[in-house]
Amino acid sequence: MDNIIQNVSVNYLLLLNYMIFGWTKMTSAETLYLIQHSGEIENEFAGKYIAIFQDKVIASGKTIHEVYEAVDTMGIKDPLITYVPRAGEELLLV
């Protein structure tokens, strides 16, 4: 069971909760965008950090520091910043 859980992409877990529980009212616009565009995001940004604001990816980089700096330069408050795992990578949620 642990192997199954470890190999499931976080985006798919979010999508599952979105579909089963109807999390639309409990979820930010950025998280909904991440869920609804997970395939495109994984294809384009695998192995990078991204910042999502409202309904688009506004910054990406190899390090989280690059993304924070880009977002700070734009003056945007409270974007969703996350890492997009490569195929086969595991993402630990704490």
Does 92 map to a domain? Answer: no
Instruction: pLDDT band for 89, please (50, 70, 90 cuts).
Output: confident
What percent of the chain stands above pLDDT 90?
Answer: 47
Does 62 map to a domain? Answer: yes
Domain count, the chain: 1
pLDDT, tens digit (0-9, with 9 covering 90-100), for 13-59: 566 555 555 555 556 889 889 888 988 999 999 999 999 999 999 99
What's the whole-number average pLDDT of the chain? Answer: 79
Does 33 map to a domain? Answer: yes
Host domain of residue 53: 2-84
Length of the chain: 94
Instruction: pLDDT band for 88, please (50, 70, 90 cuts).
Output: confident
Does 52 map to a domain? Answer: yes
Longest Cα separation, the chain = 44
Q: How many CB atoms lie within 10 A of CB 32?
A: 16
Token pair 């977002």 is found at 71
Does 27 map to a domain? Answer: yes
Q: How many CB atoms lie within 10 A of CB 30?
A: 21
